[in-house]
Structure 1
Amino acid sequence: MERVKFPKRYLIIVLTFLCTNVFYIERMGFSIAYSAAANAIGINQSSKGLILSTFYYGYVLSQIPGGWAAQSLGGRRILLLAFLLWSSICALVPMDPNQVVILVISRLLVGAAQGFIFPCIHTILAQWVPAHERSRSVSLTTSGMYLGAAAAMLLLPGLVKLQGPQSVFLVEAALGITWCILWFKFASDPPYSDNPKARALPITKSKEKGNLSHLSKIPWRKIIFSLPVWAIVVNNFTFHYALYVLMNWLPTYFELGLQLSLQEMGSSKMLPYLNMFIFSNMGGVVADHLITRRILSITQTRKLLNTVGFVISALALFLLPLFKTSSGTVLCSSVSLGFLALGRAGFAVNHLDIAPGYAGIVMGVSNTAGTLAGIIGVGFTGRILEIAKVTDRHLSSPESWKPVFFIPAYLCIFSSLIFLIFSRGERIFE
């Protein structure tokens, strides 16, 4: 029998899935390890928020340069270098909350390195993946983030308890280096003679030398002043505001708001992120089905999934601080994050719809807003909790936490309306 050939683009998708999985283990792991170390020496919530948000300052600075580098120098190479940098930093930097300067510098560098990842991934997927597979391919790749966060929440609190916070850094570094080896060995640039429908970057062939070269000029003005791009930007901001606030402060809410130990919660603490993994892939499959069967247009599909995801997520966030039990909180946070991930089949894949040839660039612009959400949301949440303490409200009181969850809920409703009005599904940049 003829041997069935496994398409190379599927291997690329699996490797990018593992990529997002590993770097989100690092991101979640730092929050868990640092929070444990900081709580042990009595660092206040405002100071914790400052350190936790430092990562995003580095992350925001490298988003647009990451898109340019991926477009100009090749996403495959830049992705490898970015992974090597943050993995090396994790291996070398001590986890000591008293060494504030070292922690700040290291988190800035890790953030800057990881800021190249998503622009590179979107550039790579735009080159490899045909249009009818984009929703589920992007959804699978990005769902690695949530599976990584779930694994971190399940395993790393126990590791911190047994081996100390520094052990988390060493595990993350080992995972990062392992991924780099796999990427170096198995990844490649797309063969431009194959699968022309998947090739989205504007590449032409030189008549004199016969080699491939980028001849297109990036339409910065059109990108910056495009309302469909701004619809993506607004929703990226909201998605990451909600995600980063929950990812960085949900462990604190469990421990201080509900008086629960993460180590004693068992597997339930990973359910919100596991739900994101499931719903993200579900959204990708549903979107591709609706589009390929011509049940809805691309524009209608993106708007439907984005609206359903963000509105239901908002309702769950409004309910979350009303529950005083771990089961109620886990249920609400799982529903909120799950439907938020479903919404990625709307706004996140839309980068490749409207600008397949400049997906990395548009992702860099969009993710800059998403990263600003991390800087604003994580730091602002720390200030909210400090103000609650100053006004004699204990952090175990639901009133102290309502603003933390209500703000992203209102943002979800607002951004879903923006996407309904201004988003488009057709290509607008040639």
Structure 2
Amino acid sequence: MDKVNISIAIIPMAADYGWTPTTAGFIQSAFFYGYLFAQLPGGWLANKFGGQRVLPFGVALWSIATAAVPFVAGDIRWLSLSRLLVGLGEGVSPPAAVDVISRYVPVNERSRATSIVFGGLNMGTVVGLTVAPTLIEGLGWPSVFVGFGVIGVAWCYWFDAVVPTNVEAEAEPVAAAESAENGAEGEKAGAEEPGEDEGIPWGQFVQHTPLRALTYIHFCNNWAVYTILSWLPTFYKDYLSVDLQGAAHLALLPPIAGIAVSVVAAPLADGLVERGVSVTLVRKIMQSVAFLSPAGCMLACIFSEDKQLSTWLLPLGLGLQTFSFAGLYSNHQDIAPKYASILLAITNIFGSIPGVVGVPFTGWLLDHTDSWYLSLFGPTLFFYISGAFVYTKWGSGERMVIRSEKDT
């Protein structure tokens, strides 16, 4: 909710303050600077203290920063800083969530767990894009930020009341069960994990080819998500000449489609793993669908003369990208469960770059070309197709062999 609220509010805000598309793009991109720089600290903190301890801090930070937006919006520097702080708070949440999944969920249930947890992104987008236009038309755009910020602070109190406190004791049975399920591989996995005093094997992570491939597809995945979701309401308003409510309602379609697709994709992936299909093949199939199906939908929109085709074909393609929950987002736990939060932090650093670069770059291209196809669709298609190729060739779901310093 707090990530997408500005994609709707930016339309009346730009009108009030006279911002160009380039300026609006830079303001929206400020979020991603904070999001990028929070990744490694967030992953390290989640790995050391447990994701359920790190998450409330991030939620409180981004909620307070969200509520502050109306009070600083007149100064672009302060507004950008507030959005940067939202990014910092939100940046710790993916590593924290992945840490919880890797601690508690066995491999044959991880696609479903990941889909449920990260499906909150789609659910929050639906709620945010539904509520924001009504609040804006009734109470003005400041009400969106204040209202959403208050909800986040209230969530922190609720979370603190219901989350178990003794995480380490509860995590052991799941880890042991997974090791038993994996048999010999479970024994190997135990040998892979260095002792607590040996630290994080950063050098081995950097040299691991499947992790490098995963990093690239995270970049490609987020280029599509961040640029399209940031600009989709404006695209619908300018390209299809719909009003604010209409733009918001059309922007609801991709996350709704994503929720529907995740109901199918996650059980399908886990079912294939349970039937003996290799984890590597399952992840590659899921991620190929996540990239190539929206690319096909986007190409159809480009070559069709019917503008209205984009109102349902683009959302369908973005919905199918949700297959990445059973591919990209489940793969970190496959490679190294103990360090899943660290691995997600590493790949998400590069996955944050499209928000920093891609969102304002799209606005800049739009200013200079006046073409949505060149500014929004062209770069996205390149990353869809190249990402599918890279992951198919070099991706893997095999457990990484981590060697301690004394072994090397």
Confirm or deny a common fold (TM above 0.5). yes
Query: Does residue 123 in structure 1 map to residue 105 in structure 2?
Result: no
Query: Does residue 133 in structure 1 map to residue 105 in structure 2?
Result: no
- C-alpha distance in 2 between matches for 1:55 and 1:175: 19
Give SS of 1:218's match.
coil
- C-alpha distance in 2 between matches for 1:344 and 1:405: 22
Deviates further, 231-240 or 169-178: 169-178
Equivalent pair of 1:72/1:214 in contact (CA under 8 Å):
no
Deviates further, 375-384 or 98-107: 98-107
- C-alpha distance in 2 between matches for 1:90 and 1:161: 19
- C-alpha distance in 2 between matches for 1:292 and 1:199: 13
Q: List runs of 5+ in structure 1 lacking aligned partners.
A: 1-24, 205-212, 394-398
When residues 37 and 323 of structure 1 are mapped into structure 2, their CA distance, relative to the original with a 3 A threshold, is farther
Equivalent of 1:262 in 244, 248, 266:
244
Counterpart in the other structure of 1:209: none
1:96-152 C-alpha deviation (Å, 9 max, x unpaired) = 643112101111111111111111111111111111110110011111101111222
When residues 271 and 198 of structure 1 are mapped into structure 2, their CA distance, relative to the original with a 3 A threshold, is farther
When residues 246 and 324 of structure 1 are mapped into structure 2, their CA distance, relative to the original with a 3 A threshold, is farther
1:25-56 C-alpha deviation (Å, 9 max, x unpaired) = 11101221133211233210001111110110
When residues 350 and 80 of structure 1 are mapped into structure 2, their CA distance, relative to the original with a 3 A threshold, is same
Query: Does residue 194 in structure 1 map to residue 166 in structure 2?
Result: no
**TM-score of the superposed pair, with normalisation by structure 1:** 0.85
Counterpart in the other structure of 1:387: 368
**TM-score of the superposed pair, with normalisation by structure 2:** 0.89
Counterpart in the other structure of 2:389: 417
Give SS of 1:86's match.
helix
Equivalent of 1:33 in 3, 6, 9:
9
When residues 31 and 198 of structure 1 are mapped into structure 2, their CA distance, relative to the original with a 3 A threshold, is farther
When residues 326 and 269 of structure 1 are mapped into structure 2, their CA distance, relative to the original with a 3 A threshold, is farther
Query: Does residue 352 in structure 1 map to residue 328 in structure 2?
Result: no
By how many angstroms is 1:400 displaced? 4.2
When residues 153 and 324 of structure 1 are mapped into structure 2, their CA distance, relative to the original with a 3 A threshold, is farther
Counterpart in the other structure of 2:322: 341
Mapping of residues 299-310 of structure 1, within 5 Å? 299-310=280-291
- C-alpha distance in 1 between matches for 2:79 and 2:159: 28
For these two proteins, the number of residue pairs brought into alignment is 387
- C-alpha distance in 1 between matches for 2:294 and 2:59: 32
1:44-101 C-alpha deviation (Å, 9 max, x unpaired) = 0001111110110111011011111111222211111111111122223426643112
- C-alpha distance in 2 between matches for 1:420 and 1:59: 28
- C-alpha distance in 2 between matches for 1:51 and 1:198: 47
- C-alpha distance in 1 between matches for 2:121 and 2:221: 13
Counterpart in the other structure of 2:218: 236
Equivalent of 2:273 in 291, 302, 321:
291
Q: Which residue identity lines up with residue 298 of structure 2 in the other structure? A: L
Counterpart in the other structure of 1:373: 354
Query: Does residue 76 in structure 1 map to residue 52 in structure 2?
Result: yes
Give SS of 2:252's match.
helix
Q: List runs of 5+ in structure 2 lacking aligned partners.
A: 180-188, 403-408
Q: Which residue identity lines up with residue 286 of structure 1 in the other structure? A: L
1:198-248 C-alpha deviation (Å, 9 max, x unpaired) = 679x999xxxxxxxx944521101111111101111111011100011111
Counterpart in the other structure of 2:259: 277
Query: Does residue 185 in structure 1 map to residue 161 in structure 2?
Result: yes
Equivalent pair of 1:317/1:333 in contact (CA under 8 Å):
yes
Counting aligned pairs with the same residue, the percent is 29
- C-alpha distance in 1 between matches for 2:19 and 2:304: 27
1:231-276 C-alpha deviation (Å, 9 max, x unpaired) = 1111110111000111110011011121111314674431111111
Counterpart in the other structure of 1:160: 136
Equivalent pair of 2:104/2:171 in contact (CA under 8 Å):
no
When residues 267 and 344 of structure 1 are mapped into structure 2, their CA distance, relative to the original with a 3 A threshold, is same
Equivalent of 1:171 in 134, 147, 164:
147
- C-alpha distance in 1 between matches for 2:119 and 2:308: 24
Equivalent pair of 2:236/2:250 in contact (CA under 8 Å):
no
By how many angstroms is 1:280 displaced? 2.6
Q: Which residue identity lines up with residue 24 of structure 2 in the other structure? A: K
- C-alpha distance in 2 between matches for 1:216 and 1:192: 21
